[in-house]
Chain A
Amino acid sequence: MSLTVNNIENYNNMSEFCIKEKFVFFYGESLDLRGKETEKLINESSMSILIKYIPEKGFININSDEFPHYMLMNFIEKLDTDYILIESTTLSVAEILLLLHYINQLENDIKLSILYVEPEEYKLKDIKDNFQEFELSNHFEGFYNIRPYNLLIDSTTNNKEKAEIVVLLGFEDNRIGYLLEMDEGQKYKSYVPLLGLPAFRTGWENIALSRNIRHFNSDFKKLEFAGASNPYQVMNKLEEIKNKSDYEKILIAAFGTKPSAIGTSLFLVNNFKNKNNKVGIIYDFPKKKENRTMGTGKVYNYIIKKQ
């Protein structure tokens, strides 16, 4: 079975968005107004599930209970519902990917959609002062695989078995720098930057581009584009990159927008193999700040269909 984006509904704001049928609602911890706005769905749902992935342990926390990620399958199987709504604004790529992975394995057909609320604006911090506070620094601890999307690549792995890495570009250049610095060419033999274009707002692509350009080196010619708010395009673009790659394995660093994380998840789920899987993801789980965005923008509901 594979998953695809069947339709993209968009709304001007959350009050326009309503669901008439019964649904199970997966959501994450709310950090900004966008998250708060979607909380109304908690009451409207027949069952709401607060979910969080714990990268250090490979565990999932569901409504305060922790268990290994693979137990999510049992949990989803037991849900008595015909419709699952995933609120992606408050979730990371890890929860979205794992939910899609295990929902795709369900035998019965189920209605599935993913909600996303764009911010009206991101907070850009203007530092007029010469000296920056240490505490302002965003912090990430390191990179983690998300099982089952893990690729085993070490010095014993033959060169032809090494991976091409596709990096979905975000605004934070250090994340890619750290990734490449840490690996030092062991796992990834080739690097493809994927830029969100069109961006959420005109001109934002330039921010992502200018912040990351120093990592391109000779790979600049490999730069690829896919709409920042269009998971369907991202999914197809990744498929295209995979098909023309000289490498058997593809590893994705999903530093881009949330819709691109959804597109990435769909691509990974569709290409997953139980044996000798060749597609993987790596993510750094940044500690996001509260109220890092302002206001709410457009609301998207991506209707996902099993094929």
Chain B
Amino acid sequence: MEDLKLSTIFSKKRAEALPDDLWGKYVLPLNYAQYNLFNFGNSTHIIGGRGSGKTMFLKYHCFPTMLSVNRENINDIDLEKIGIYWKPDTDFLKFINKDYLPIGWEGIFKTYVGLSLISELSKFVKTLINSNHKSDKLKELLKELIIPKEKAVFLNAVEDILLINLDEKCEFLRSELNDWLNYPLDKPPVVFAAKEKILYLIEYIFQKVPALEKSCFYVFIDEYENLLPKQQEIINSWMKHSSAPLIFSVAYKKHYQINANTTGPEKITRIHDYHIIDLEEDVYGEKNYSILAAEIILSNIQNYYLQKNPSFEKIIEFNLSSVSELKLRNNPLYKRKILKQIRDIFPLYSTLELAEEIFNDGALYGKLKELMNMRLKNTDFKVNDFINKDYLRESIINASLLHRKSKSFEAENLKKLFDNNSIKYKEWVNSTFVSTLLYLYSTYTDKVCPYYGGFNRFVLMSKNNVRHLLELCHKSLIHYEIENSIIPEIDLLYVPVEIQAKSARSVSREEFEHKLPDISSYGTKLQWLVERLGNLYFLSQKRKSQSEPEKNHFVVLGNNIEKHENKEIQKLLFESKIWTVLIAKKNTKSKDVLDNAFYEYHLHPIFAPYFQISPRQKRKFEFSISEFEIIFNGDNLSYKELYKEYAKKWESEETFIETKVSSKNQSTMYFG
């Protein structure tokens, strides 16, 4: 335990890296009761972006977690809803199609699903036997429950077989099926209708085990989008007619357009056949996400202290995986307490503190004065006329205000407003302070704006993405541990804002330079798109006047670009949404009658520190359709012209961020 590091606790970022049993590890979102997947009597489509925690959410509902050995008090009621998680081997599925198997591919697909789910059914029984369910009688019954050979003939059974051994039998048959697919000319080793046979087995179990007769099995198929369309149709047919005791549900990435066909003439329809749970929008929501984030981070930190010292006094006493404790966690006092605790560990600077940082840093202060001086050199005013140590934030934004063209910002007029502490400054600080701050820091490549540090900022930048959130904490704690060899008691633990901001920059760089190109076969194109948008936003940020608040999203005026006729553009837009590089929101806020854009597209704020732009959602870019086309599909020359046009229009400094993408000698070679 000596070597245990606090940062290491945060390094397991994916559900797949964790065991199937998530009891005590999974933090239930506070409004979970509404979205409990067992509440529904028909199919559910669970959607969410990359890193949103779909797999964790599904696995929480499944038997390895619900019947976990770490869970006490498992009762008969817990056996009424049984979740089964299944993620198919999509490489394997690529060969189950009409081309490769002209006759009977559907049967082979169903058999593969059937063998896998019957195997899970058998594992469920084993897990129940090993669980803390109190009935020994039930466990004995299950241990000895035999499936007679005549009932398991479809599994090539030649003798009676124990239900708990069915998984080995299925694994053997899955392997046989895989071997057969190498040379699929003979009769397949096993073929059966999956849904019917699973129901047949379930009914048999119900007859023999009264404690399970009320049970309903919920099958959750993960990464549904990776099934071939014709395979999806089979699953759709099962979903269309899903009801107790066997309900099929699926999970897929948000924005994926599902194939609604079934194997028959009908289609599956929302509400009638299934409902959608959007993990990020519905389950987390803007409000609940910060509590969820605080609980996730604190429970990880708590685990560290508990591992170091088992008698550590817990900061969160609740079992975060338990439905029965949700009510207690919804208590405002508890919420306030944990938010305070997390903000103590990951503090942020107030705007006043951020302003003080500028004045305490010689270089930044010098840059501030230089910026003012540019506008004052031919006037009777001096820089000190616009600096007042009692009004630091106002003094800082003066550097931007002086660069504005309107008469009221001329030195003489502004000076009067400044001296009179005009009420207008309140609004100007709100709209201009952060952008001026970011501008000042961006003039030095080695300085990172501390605005990116703090729990609240981590929540803002991770934007409902638990993976980003954990990475921000992980990186911060790594940097913290480099500078602090000893982790103090929890009450004294706080990660300096500068370390957090530096870490946020590093996570942002990692996400842009390395993770983005890896996320799909379209990754490199997405990276270029982010580079183009990020640089335009940065260009806007480099306007000395900061005449508009921070820009990090865009609309395309008068056009529904979702229906753009160019297939390449459509594909790139689709991929950028699927991978949550861009977040599309219905354009509902606009008051401008000319602004009839359909959607706003937000660059994911995790990229903000890399491009030194604001993660806050403020003012939008309004692109014309031709500008949009250049950004999404134009050649370099056209983009460069567009970039220069904007630089000229805004009188902005052209400081194209030399990204790894643009500066490295990108080779297009493969070994050959």
Contact = CB atoms under 8 A, between A and B. Distances in A.
A127 B666 contact: yes
B661 A138 contact: no
Given A155-B222, A181-B519, A256-B671, A186 B87 contact: yes
Contacts of B171: 156-158, 161
Contacts, number: 185
Interface string A127-167: 10111111011111111110110111111111001000000
20 contacts: A123-B667, A123-B669, A130-B636, A130-B640, A132-B662, A133-B636, A134-B528, A137-B668, A139-B521, A143-B91, A152-B89, A156-B119, A157-B171, A161-B171, A171-B670, A177-B514, A178-B519, A214-B514, A255-B670, A275-B175
A144 B92 CA distance: 9
Given A125-B666, A185-B14, A286-B670, 17 more contacts: A57-B99, A68-B100, A125-B669, A131-B532, A134-B525, A138-B668, A141-B521, A142-B521, A147-B181, A154-B88, A154-B92, A177-B518, A178-B517, A214-B514, A255-B670, A276-B179, A292-B669
B183 A129 contact: no
A170 interface: yes
Contacts of B600: none
B174 interface: yes
B116 A156 contact: yes
- Size class of the B contact interface (CB-based, 8 Å): 35 or more
Nearest to A155: B87
B91 A127 contact: no
Nearest to A273: B179
B524 A275 contact: no
Nearest to B568: A134
B16 interface: yes
A37 B116 CA distance: 51
Interface string B513-551: 011011111011100100010000000000000000000
A187 B89 contact: yes
A248 B278 CA distance: 39
Interface of B: 14, 16-17, 85-89, 91-92, 94-95, 99-100, 116, 119-120, 170-171, 174-179, 181-183, 185, 222, 514-515, 517-521, 523-525, 528, 532, 633, 635-636, 639-640, 656, 658, 661-672
A142 B225 CA distance: 14
Interface residues of A, number: 75
A136 to B, nearest CB: 6
Contacts of A122: 667, 669
A293 interface: yes
A9 interface: no
B672 A150 contact: no
Highest count of chain B CB atoms <10 Å: which of A31, A144, A170, A174? A174
Nearest to A161: B171
A124 interface: yes
Contact of A178 (B87, B182, B183, B521): B521
Contacts of A153: 89
Nearest to B659: A130
Q: Which of A131, A140, A143, A288 has most B Cβ within 10 Å? A: A131
Q: Which of A152, A177, A292 has the most CB of B within 10 A?
A: A152
A145 B179 contact: no
A132 B16 contact: no
A58 B92 CA distance: 11
B94 A127 contact: no
A177 B523 CA distance: 10
B647 to A, nearest CB: 13
Interface in A75-103: 89
B632 to A, nearest CB: 9
A258 B671 contact: yes
A257 interface: yes
A59 interface: yes
B626 to A, nearest CB: 17
Interface string A218-235: 000000000010000000
